[in-house]
Structure 1
Amino acid sequence: MLSCRKISSMALAIALNISPFFFSNAMAAGQADDEIIDAKISYEEYVEILKTEALAKGFSQQLLDQSFANIQFYKRAVKADRNQPETVETLDTYLPKRVPQWKVDRARKRYKEHQELLTKIGNEYGVQPRFIVALWGLETNFGKIMGNFNVVSALSTLAYEGRREAFFKKQLWAALSILEEGHISVENMKGSWAGAMGQNQFMPTSFMSYAVDGDGDGKKDIWGNQADVFASMANYLKKEGWSDELTWGRQVKLPEGFDTSLAIPKNTGSRKNWLKAWTNTEKTLQEWQELGVRRTDGTALPKVEIKAALVFPDDANGRAYLAYNNYKSLMHWNLSYYFVSSVGHLSDRIKFPPIQ
């Protein structure tokens, strides 16, 4: 027995091969079937429950036998999930580590190497290639660091751990669908401890929603096929409202006594609340100009008819940015001001100076 956890009475009945109806009637009067009871179940038993549920969802026995043949319990995944580091730095200290000069140099080099493919995909999806390269570099160091966890094992482990069981089970069903469709083999379906996969680190549900076959070979291979990797990234951004007529945003300077309540609150709690705050606070660049907002060098904002929201990645005493509509697409990818700032700054460094 690798580990144990509490389990619902219904699931325990399945694991013990007892009729759920009989088991529930044998419980103390008034206890519902879906109540968590003080019983323990091993990881191996839990995996059998997952396989039973998967069969009920229509997955074949052959697929499940293959997918779970070498199932493992990843203690490292549980530890990583429970001990994710808290942010203890500012954007000023974070950016130099996330966007160092060597990464900028490598991004420009990779852009040149794949420029023909990136240009084709950029034109097809309406996404500037520099943003595709920036996401690629920040997610996996241009495909070098994709994670070496078996995805089925990682997702099963985290579902068993229990704190976010529903989420990780949903990811597991999506992972099985990806295998069922033949996009990748079980052995090669590797990812992070949390189940993020490939060179763009898509969770399985994101794969199902956004991954595309970039070269027409019938597979969506975000692990080893560069056309699929780039096209899937571009498709994600396009589906989330990206416009190649805009950039991501710009750092700005605020006047003395500026009303900081005009910015989006930093801790909105969810993507839905963040988008609502965006709608409630966005203004035209002309309106921000009239409020005294300027470029960092003190000059006037661009005279273009677009809207922007004001964000403080740290607080009102730190950096301030006017965020354009594409900023929302990047926040959908990762709801983190620091991540979006990193993508934006790396994409700007790829562009300036222009690639020769």
Structure 2
Amino acid sequence: MQKRLISALVALGLGFSSVALSADEGFDKYVEGLKVEAREKGISEAIINSAFDGITFTERAVKADKNQPERKLTLDEYIPRAVPDWKVKQANDLYQKHKPALERIGKQYGVQPRFIVALWGVESNFGRLMGNYNVIEALSTLAYEGRREAFFRTQVMAALEILDAKHISPEDMKGSWAGAMGQPQFMPTSFLSYAVDGNNDGKIDIWQTEADVFASAANYLKQANWNDDYTWGRQVNIPGNIDRNLLGVDKEKARKLSDWQRLGVRRLNGQALPEVDINAWLIQPDDNKGRAYLVYGNYQSLLLWNRSHYFALAVSHLADQIR
């Protein structure tokens, strides 16, 4: 609580030199604790010294973590912004540019290449928006701030492990304010679990090497039980009197498409649902208004990547427009 109060006072610009000094001292002391833990985990002294060298408490990372949009967009507003025509064009152009690597990796991991490209586009605008925060500094700041200390402290240790394995240098380890890294925006623990060498050069580089980005994204989806025999789902029309207790992505709410057909769910154009023996879940993220979707197991895999329906639907809609 004390460290949060000190940080808040500094952020308000009260100008108390003693307060500022206390904030600096508090963060510096916390970093010393991180160093001790890193040594206990076997991280080399050279990496510990270089990774933590000169880092300071980064108030803008804390502000970003606390920032919430004042008004939630509806899907009708969000999807056109998240998947504009220019992004669709770029996605198709980049698919063609990287087609040999994408098709090789897609076959290897059992993931349709269009979903790999769509994730790439939604996460980092095809590698153009990866963040410019020092990852160790941002993660250490958020751990010290304390609201999610255990999570961010674990991420600090994972980031140090990545550095110790020489996948990237401390000065080049840049990412978002939350520590999400590279073109697929992996948190450090996700990197350790899913990042792979996609071009067989002996390195794993999700910052600059597209083949590694594609293979790492595909490996994540594979481990999340992706099935390339199917797509993600479809937008549908639902009857106004449908039992809303049936909606949701919980395991027990799965129904066969034939069951949803009997309940009055139809394709967006009013036609019958496909006659395919597959489980589907009915969702309507904007509550009892707005778009409704029947989603399949692959959509559940996207939710493991990011629990936001808006994220998963942006990826899905972009993938549908890649040919």
Normalised TM-score (structure 2) = 0.91
Letter in structure 2 aligned against 1:228: D
Whether contact under 8 Å (2:27, 2:56) holds in the other structure is no
* Partner Cα separation in structure 2 for residue 330 and residue 237 of structure 1: 7
Letter in structure 2 aligned against 1:57: K
1:70 Cα offset (Å): 2.8
Helix, strand or coil at the partner of 2:141: helix
Which residue of the other structure, out of 257, 275, 290, is the alignment partner of 2:262? 290
- Equivalent in the alignment of 1:210: 194
Helix, strand or coil at the partner of 2:286: coil
- Equivalent in the alignment of 1:323: 295
Letter in structure 2 aligned against 1:5: K
Which residue of the other structure, out of 183, 189, 193, is the alignment partner of 1:199? 183
Helix, strand or coil at the partner of 1:322: strand
Which residue of the other structure, out of 169, 176, 181, is the alignment partner of 2:153? 169
* Partner Cα separation in structure 2 for residue 206 and residue 339 of structure 1: 18
1:312 aligns to 2:310 (yes or no): no
Normalised TM-score (structure 1) = 0.83
- Equivalent in the alignment of 2:34: 50
- Equivalent in the alignment of 1:35: none
- Equivalent in the alignment of 1:76: 60
Letter in structure 2 aligned against 1:196: A
1:55-83: per-residue Cα shift (whole Å, max 9, x none)? 12222212201111231321110111112
Residues 253 and 6 (structure 1 numbering): CA distance in 2 closer, same or farther, change over 3 Å? closer
1:143 aligns to 2:147 (yes or no): no
1:333 aligns to 2:305 (yes or no): yes
Deviates more, 1:87-96 or 1:118-127: 87-96
Letter in structure 2 aligned against 1:236: Y
1:130 aligns to 2:128 (yes or no): no
- Equivalent in the alignment of 1:234: 218
Question: Tell me, which stretches of 5 or more residues in structure 2 are unaligned?
Answer: 6-21
* Structure with greater proportional helix content: 2
Deviates more, 1:139-148 or 1:43-52: 43-52
Which residue of the other structure, out of 244, 268, 276, is the alignment partner of 1:260? 244
Letter in structure 2 aligned against 1:152: I
Letter in structure 2 aligned against 1:336: S
* Partner Cα separation in structure 2 for residue 77 and residue 58 of structure 1: 28
Say which one has the larger Rg: 1
Instruction: Map 1:80-91 to 2 at 5 A.
Output: 80-85=64-69, 87-91=71-75
Deviates more, 1:294-303 or 1:247-256: 247-256
1:85 Cα offset (Å): 2.3
- Equivalent in the alignment of 2:207: 223
Quote the RMSD (CA, aligned, Å). 1.6
* Partner Cα separation in structure 2 for residue 72 and residue 120 of structure 1: 43
- Equivalent in the alignment of 2:3: 5
Structure 1 moving runs of 4+ over 3 Å? none
Helix, strand or coil at the partner of 1:205: helix
Helix, strand or coil at the partner of 1:131: helix
* Partner Cα separation in structure 1 for residue 176 and residue 154 of structure 2: 17
* Partner Cα separation in structure 1 for residue 278 and residue 244 of structure 2: 21
Deviates more, 1:118-127 or 1:310-319: 310-319
- Equivalent in the alignment of 1:113: 97
- Equivalent in the alignment of 1:33: none
Identical aligned residues as a percent: 58
1:103 aligns to 2:96 (yes or no): no
Question: Tell me, which stretches of 5 or more residues in structure 1 are unaligned?
Answer: 8-38, 265-273, 352-356
